[in-house]
A = this chain, B = another copy of it.
Amino acid sequence: MSNDRTMILGMHLGNGYGSQGAAWRFPGVDPANYASFDAQVRYAQAAERGKFAFLFLPDFPGLQGDLASESPQITLEPMLTLAAIARETARIGLVATGSTTFNEPFNIARQFKALDVMSHGRAGWNAVTTSDPGAAANYGQTIAPRPERYQRAHETIQIAQALWGSWQRDAWLQDTAAGRFADPEKIQPINLQGQHVASRGPLPIPPSEQGQPVIFAAGGGDNGIELAGRYASGVIGAAFTIEDARSQRAAVRDAARRAGRDPDEVKFFAGVMPAIGPTKRAALDRRVRLGEHSAPARVSYLGSMLGLALDARQLDEPLSASQLTIARASEFDPRSARALEVAREGWTLREILAHGVIDYHPTPVGTAAVTADHMQEWFEAGACDGFWVSIDVNEDGIDTFVDEVMPILQERGLFHHDYEGSTLRDHLGAPAQYGLDPRVS
């Protein structure tokens, strides 16, 4: 890959604290932020200052986690959170996960389109299937087999896109002199009938500045890749190695080709969860502190990744010479090779964990340049078109990323200095989409 393209970045927004489970009790963090839309808006504004292309709000229809000691990982409700952010930002894209399994197409299409109009063309829908039995129980249901869930996902996305296109670009006349509010000929029902869902339409919403919201996808597996290839302009990836990311990205691009699309229209985003400090020691200490209470319970799992029986008594010691001799990276967890590599550097178990070796995304640990190096390496290796960035503690961490990592990326010609356009489609390079015009089809 050459340097004539720049990476596109998304900022992960979750619970109002940050992506580390103990962020809610970190010094300087208001523990009430889980219910604070002010905090979410502040973080969004910080990301916009950093010229992030989009915010990404994962979602899950239910309550997860051990609330005794940790906060939920997601926002109270993504659409209302994005509505607040839409009103108090101007350029950054607004992407949220919404289940195709437990939403009616008409309802989800209406809300994302309203968000798109409200934000002047900045909305994106990460359309996922939901396979969790606990989520299904919140709807009095059980989980349908995967093919059925994906069939419903295809139908739901197609209906949503058709509803979004149910007003043609020039349907809304606003002609006060002639008394013509709209041209009814250009606002038509869609009459789509699937096996699982259906809708007549039209939606009561005119096009936004980008026409209609952008589709994102996140699912892995053949079904998920096929779905991404058909509809998505952005793919929320989860990969721990460059090789893995390259292979995921290639699969999505192949799927786009099979669907008759230009693969460059589908941007693949790798996750990154940086640990940044003035020195490597400082970066590590920040994570040691965040892991203070969770580390003991994680030692045993760390052991299983290394083929060792470890317990919390060894938390503040490195692996012994004999342990290092027999340690092997488990084939069952893609993070194991990195864990072994860190262990061999002689860190204590607590410090190994502080390297993020069992966190959800790769964690470069050190100065801002270390994170920039990681991103450059992945990007130039063709592992991704950009990253979705998870910050450990949002309160200070977003600013640190924006003020320290971005200038390095900009200096290296890897990241833009300002937004080139105003809509999410502009930011992603996704083609305009105004729906189908039956006069020309």
Contacts and interface: CB of A to CB of B under 8 A. Distances in A.
Contacts of A83: 79-80, 83-84
A37 B114 CA distance: 10
A62 B293 contact: no
Oligomeric state, in copies: 2
Nearest to A166: B63
Interface residues of A, number: 70
Interface in A65-114: 66-72, 74, 76-77, 79-81, 83-84, 86-88, 102-104, 106-107, 110-111, 113-114
A187 B63 contact: yes
B134 A200 contact: yes
Nearest to A25: B176
Interface string A7-35: 00000000000000010110000011011
The 10 closest A-B CB pairs, nearest first, are A140-B198, A77-B114, A83-B83, A137-B200, A31-B174, A25-B176, A67-B182, A63-B204, A106-B138, A80-B83
27 contacts: A24-B174, A24-B176, A31-B181, A63-B202, A66-B184, A67-B181, A67-B182, A67-B184, A68-B180, A68-B183, A68-B184, A69-B180, A76-B114, A76-B118, A79-B80, A80-B80, A80-B114, A80-B115, A80-B118, A81-B114, A84-B87, A103-B104, A104-B139, A137-B200, A138-B199, A140-B194, A140-B200
Given A31-B174, A69-B179, 5 more contacts: A61-B110, A63-B201, A84-B87, A104-B139, A139-B199
